[in-house]
Amino acid sequence: MHKAARLILLFILCLAPATVTLAAEGKIIHDAEYYIIEAQNGERWAADDKQIDKKLADLRKKNGGKPPNIVYILLDDVGFGEIGMDNLSVIRGYKTPRMDALAKEGISLQRMYTEPSCTPTRVAMMTGRYPTRTGTTEAKATLAGDGLHAEEITLAEVLRDAGYYTSHVGKWHMGDIEQAYASNQGFMHAEFPIHQQGQLAIMGRDMESADIIRGVDASRQKQTFTLDKLFTPDPAHMVTSVELRDGKLYEVEMEPGEAWTQKKYREMNERYQKNALEQLRTLSKQDKPFFLTIGRYFLSRLFRSSGANTTPSTVARWPTFWLRSTNGLVRLSTKWTNWGLPKTRLLW
């Protein structure tokens, strides 16, 4: 190898981030930035950890020594303070007393790191790492061919190995490569769409008829300048919603060659809402602690305390989408109470 090439290779290797590695004795070795921040905040972190440990110990004690069940519900397109915070929701948002009660029965965490887009936020929550560390800094809206790497350690994997039953229902959006699938990232039960929201929401022939997208129906254009005809996507060729059964993924609710439509998109979301409730019902009968994540696509049907149907004033074309799935969350919190699940076994 040429000397200059060897020097460049050595330089690259020296720059490779030592993000989080395990030493022989099992101690976690972080990168330099972590230790810089730890030196400034270590005492406060230790105090916070003690409070959290005490709260968790109290929950376990009240629950007969069992660890808490964890239900994680992630909503798209909800602004800070629009739900769950009366001081802000009175100005811009909605009163959600059932969801508030659900949160207060467990632990309400109101300081968090997030990003103003879908994939980075989901990956950060699932891995506990900044999106830049995992290379998932964008919410891809097209066929991307990337996603969460198999080597990343997810919360589902950690909890599964700790004895939890792990289940995911609904939107995933952490990549369209196989290693990024929920079924390959620690979930023992998984129902999710492979593709991202952009394909599912707008890549359909009916959407081209509505002039929302162009080019998904090759028969409508002359393709004069198309050199690679395989580049033109056909919604009927996409594998959409899949379910994990006996260790294998199966496409559901789509016949071979059937075209993807807005009607199918809406039916998929309604199916996820129904199946999330069914999954919670099933898991609540088990003695084993569970980790259930529910990904919502669109929100819909929020009501003021007066009973009047309301929509966000800032979204002209979203009312139908906005208003439907949060109703599902209210139903979920009601079902949680009806099934008699212990209050002390919930983290929100």
Q: What is the DSSP string of 228-293?
A: -GGGS--GGG---EEEEETTEEEE-S--TTPPP-HHHHHHHHHHHHHHHHHHHHHHHTSSS-EEEE
Listed residues 27, 62, 97: the one ending a domain: 62
For residues 175 and 296, is the Cβ–Cβ distance under 8 A?
no
- For residue range 153-182, list pLDDT tens digits in order: 999 999 999 999 999 999 998 988 899 999
Residue 274 resides in a domain: yes
104 and 144 fall within a common domain: yes
Q: Are residues 33 and 160 in the same domain?
A: no
Residue 248 lies in a domain: yes
Tokens of 59: 């929950």
pLDDT tens for 264-282 read 888 998 999 999 999 999 9
Residue type, 72: Y
- pLDDT reported for residue 59: 83
Same structural domain, 145 and 46: no
Instruction: Say what the pTM is.
Output: 0.74
- Tell me if 131 is assigned to some domain: yes
pLDDT at residue 134 is higher than 80: yes
> How far apart are the C-alpha atoms of 336 and 318, rounded to whole Å?
29
Are 144 and 194 members of one domain?
yes
Residue 209 belongs to some domain of the structure:
no
Question: For residue 126, is it within any domain?
Answer: yes
163 and 142 in a single domain? The answer is yes
Amino acid in the structure at residue 243? E
Any domain includes 210: no
Spell 298-311 as b/e; 16+ CB within 10 A means b: bbbbbbeeeeeeee
Q: Is residue 215 part of a domain?
A: no
Q: Are residues 125 and 137 in the same domain?
A: yes
Q: Each residue of 74-106: pLDDT tens digit?
A: 877 777 777 777 777 777 777 788 878 877 776
- Bigger pLDDT: 219 vs 188: 188
Number of H helices, E strands in the chain: 11, 9
Same domain, residue pair 275 and 287 = yes
Does 8 fall in a domain?
no
The burial of 58, by beta-carbon neighbours within 10 Å (0-12 exposed, 13-18 middle, 19 or more buried), is given as exposed
Q: Within this chain, do residues 256 and 315 fall inside the same structural domain, yes or no?
A: yes
Rounded CA separation 53/44 (Å): 14
Beta-strand pair 69-74/290-295? parallel
Range of the domain at 46: 18-62
pLDDT score at 113? 62
Same domain, 152 and 298: yes
Count of domains forming the chain: 2
The residue among 33, 62, 91 that closes a domain is: 62
Residue matched to tokens 């393709």: 223
Task: Looking at mean pLDDT, say which of 36-45, 205-214, 229-238, 316-325 comes out highest.
Answer: 36-45
- Please indicate, yes or no, whether residues 147 and 29 belong to a single structural domain of this protein: no
